[in-house]
Chain A
């Protein structure tokens, strides 16, 4: 292929990229972001990880060291395996704080400290410059392959190729400035750049896969053939020695590449800053590892075939180009060349944007603000244009540095190791980054110690030796020197970070930020930051200087509207100040934004006591909630009690009506017989015998009537509490014996087995013995009446409780009383079985209950005793009669409870 054709193809390709980026930016401006926002575009933009170093260098790496090249891809794969909980949190926190770069993340986490960000920026610049140089070199080398291969190769001297680097650097700088600094807010997305990169990712992948397929099925004889060739290559002892994996190197390389995916400026830019939200990681979580898989699948076959087919002196780094060229596949070679070109350009563009943002936000703007004193209020847009120009300048500077480095180093050997050196440099940020995100105790001094020591060690042990200054670290025999050095740097870095953090006490802003980063919540600055209303105007002026008049007005108006105010000046609530500062941080970095808002809003430095007050307020709110909760529960309880009381009252009312009806009925039945039989007695024709019988019936019925009236009177006296108690002492044993003999008249035909525990019954009691006897007789008679067992048994147990008095349990072996009706039996006229059989009015247990209440005791039904069981609880002595009123109330409440 002629060199001119190659240049033309390059120019067409570059024009295409410009057009795509322009179209995407236009579409985004008009709000057509649906396909620009697709997670696949995001995933493809992540492929900026695969720079020219991996595109060309992976094959060279594989041909020298075998499978070891895979570590560069396996580290990111493992990181993305944890996308769901790890990367999502990183993206969420970073978006929450409008973080603009990895340096800004560190600075925002550790108390919005700009010096810390400046140090991270320094590492990024040192690490990125040779890396950019490496990309320029790869483009130059790929040009050389074609030029030396072409017919007019001899006509081009070395100077022409040196020019390639300059041309490429200049073109990329132009592209980056055009599409990378369109807007100031670095956290706003560069749709044009990202879309162009996504397209480059596709070209990169297509080129590599096409070459891979050509190599595996065109040059070799399918995968099995490739595997057998690989085994043959392994048989060569010289190759085998290089190819055998060293576990320590393998582990450290995976670790370092895992760190790189998180900390490399360009990766942070596309993965975190350009992400609209963390949702796109759901797709990227598997799609990016799949992309890496596809990119690395054919590396080894290409390396093996290159070794076999190409002359021994050929540079393995360029096998991807020389293989198709040697096979005469010009179009494939062109595609691969464009793939490599796109790998280099996408990396350089994103890296330049990321590093330039860092340089302008953390070096140039703070320096400029420090040099100028309080700015005059009238200068509109001065800061905005300064920041934009600073960023453009930084892009040019980064590109120029890369090109100068490329020119200065010249040779290939020094640059080949640069990729890994850059990785290890940025990895020094990792301990502070991970620690800051997961550990609230991590503090700024710790971060200084960790990153600082990491920077010094990395410079002296890895970076400077890589450019030929100083030698490698002497390590024990059998260890890989590089792996040991990296581990030493990272370990000391982590130890310094953790150690200093443990003994430090962070300032309040830092602690607030720590809480926000670790718990992914948005704390609001303290209300002491509030100032008088007339301060909103200077803030607007300041925002106008950063964002431009129109945008600042729009933002302030929307904030005012969200507060329910009209006009452009919102109240300076803590929430507004926090939000404003975060938005500003998206343009100029959190440290600068913090300083500016504080200066204009006249903020008072946050103190520990403020912090504690914030915590106090939260605590108070929590306590208030708990108190309300308790009050609510209390109310619910009271309401339930009231409801129950109401139910009971309703039931009592119903009961009273039923009682009246019942009592009329009960009085009428004997009355009717009395009347009927007295009517019959008037008949003179009756025999004396019949007269006697009917008179007997009348007598019996009148007796029943009297008993009923006696019971009712008794009950009413008891219920009113006016019953006179004849308190005396007695032996409980005697009382029970009397009760048993008195009750034996009831259904005397039934032979009851009485089970008593005689010794325990001999208890002295002080009570109204006659009343107690009445209760006992009633209960025992009931048992005799209702116990339906074939061999009825009556168990009487007596014991003295600790409080004195006595407990008398009377249990039979009948079928007992249904649980649903147990609460009814102490009510008046509550007869459970048919009234004829019982032959009573149903007042017995009601009277018993009233007697026991009058005696200060209680009678209750004991469920689950194998039959009907009653417990009579006798107090040590009955209540004092003098307190009549008190007694009445006791009776009333007792009735309510019963």
Chain B
């Protein structure tokens, strides 16, 4: 792809990495909710578990809020990033442009 830049300037790079964080977050959330129950089900079934899950939940809500705010700001800072990077359509992922 000759029209895709090989390297990005700081703002676009930052935005991409925030995008990566947005992809990692659900996996992380799922692991944090699942692993303790598989590991020590006895310990997380009662009051301790309630505190753990609700605490994690609250942190997660704030994390999504902060991440979305950062992503929106990063997107505002790089208004042409998506247009320039992928002219045929908005946000075509690199691994999805293969021919079928």
Nearest-CB distance from B8 to chain A (Å)?
18
Q: Say yes or no for A188: interface residue by CB 8 A criterion.
A: no
DSSP class of B's interface residues: helix, strand, loop or mixed?
helix
How far apart sit A78 and B28, CA to CA, in the bound complex (Å)? 9
List of A residues within 8 angstroms of B99 by Cβ: 615
Contact-residue bracket for chain A: 35 or more
How far apart sit A514 and B67, CA to CA, in the bound complex (Å)? 31
List of B residues within 8 angstroms of A520 by Cβ: 89-92
How far apart sit A734 and B90, CA to CA, in the bound complex (Å)? 77
Q: Say yes or no for B13: interface residue by CB 8 A criterion.
A: no
Nearest-CB distance from B40 to chain A (Å)?
10
Nearest-CB distance from B30 to chain A (Å)?
5
Q: Assuming the A-B contacts A77-B57, A282-B72, are A85 and B19 also in contact, with contact meaning beta carbons closer than 8 angstroms in the complex?
A: yes
Nearest-CB distance from A473 to chain B (Å)?
23
List of B residues within 8 angstroms of A81 by Cβ: 25-26, 29, 60, 64
Q: Are B47 and A82 in contact (CB under 8 A)?
A: no
How far apart sit A520 and B98, CA to CA, in the bound complex (Å)? 14
Q: Say yes or no for A896: interface residue by CB 8 A criterion.
A: no
How far apart sit A45 and B96, CA to CA, in the bound complex (Å)? 33
Nearest-CB distance from B95 to chain A (Å)?
10
Q: Are B44 and A245 in contact (CB under 8 A)?
A: yes
Q: A297 contacts which of B34, B54, B60, B68 (Cβ < 8 Å)?
A: B54
How far apart sit A466 and B55, CA to CA, in the bound complex (Å)? 35
Q: Are A521 and B37 in contact (CB under 8 A)?
A: no
Q: Report how many A-B pairs have Cβ atoms within 8 Å.
A: 126
Q: Assuming the A-B contacts A245-B49, A285-B64, A293-B61, are A82 and B89 also in contact, with contact meaning beta carbons closer than 8 angstroms in the complex?
A: no
9-61 of chain B: CB within 8 A of chain A: 19, 22-23, 25-26, 29-30, 33-34, 37-38, 41-42, 44-47, 49-51, 53-54, 57-58, 60-61
How far apart sit A77 and B63, CA to CA, in the bound complex (Å)? 12
Of all chain B residues, the one with the shortest Cβ separation from A283 is B68
9-residue interface stretch from A118-126, A247-255, A405-413: A247-255
Q: B92 contacts which of A282, A293, A519 (Cβ < 8 Å)?
A: A519
199-254 of chain A: CB within 8 A of chain B: 227-228, 230-231, 233-234, 240, 243-247, 250-251, 254
Q: Are A84 and B22 in contact (CB under 8 A)?
A: yes
Q: Assuming the A-B contacts A285-B64, A521-B89, are A234 and B26 also in contact, with contact meaning beta carbons closer than 8 angstroms in the complex?
A: no
Q: Say yes or no for A80: interface residue by CB 8 A criterion.
A: yes
Q: Say yes or no for A286: interface residue by CB 8 A criterion.
A: yes
How far apart sit A78 and B66, CA to CA, in the bound complex (Å)? 16
Q: B57 contacts which of A251, A293, A300, A519 (Cβ < 8 Å)?
A: A293
The winner among A66, A246, A247, A286 for most chain B CB atoms within 10 A is A286
Q: Say yes or no for A67: interface residue by CB 8 A criterion.
A: yes
Q: Are B47 and A289 in contact (CB under 8 A)?
A: no
Nearest-CB distance from B5 to chain A (Å)?
15
Q: Are B33 and A78 in contact (CB under 8 A)?
A: yes
Of all chain B residues, the one with the shortest Cβ separation from A441 is B100
Q: Are B64 and A522 in contact (CB under 8 A)?
A: no
Nearest-CB distance from A608 to chain B (Å)?
12
Q: Assuming the A-B contacts A67-B53, A77-B60, A286-B64, are A234 and B37 also in contact, with contact meaning beta carbons closer than 8 angstroms in the complex?
A: no
List of A residues within 8 angstroms of B25 by Cβ: 81-82
Of all chain B residues, the one with the shortest Cβ separation from A80 is B64
Q: Are A227 and B50 in contact (CB under 8 A)?
A: yes
List of A residues within 8 angstroms of B97 by Cβ: 519
Nearest-CB distance from A723 to chain B (Å)?
52
How far apart sit A66 and B30, CA to CA, in the bound complex (Å)? 20
List of B residues within 8 angstroms of A440 by Cβ: 96, 98, 100
Given contact pairs A78-B26, A286-B65, enumerate 4 new A-B contacts (beta carbons under 8 Å).
Answer: A78-B30, A80-B64, A227-B50, A519-B97
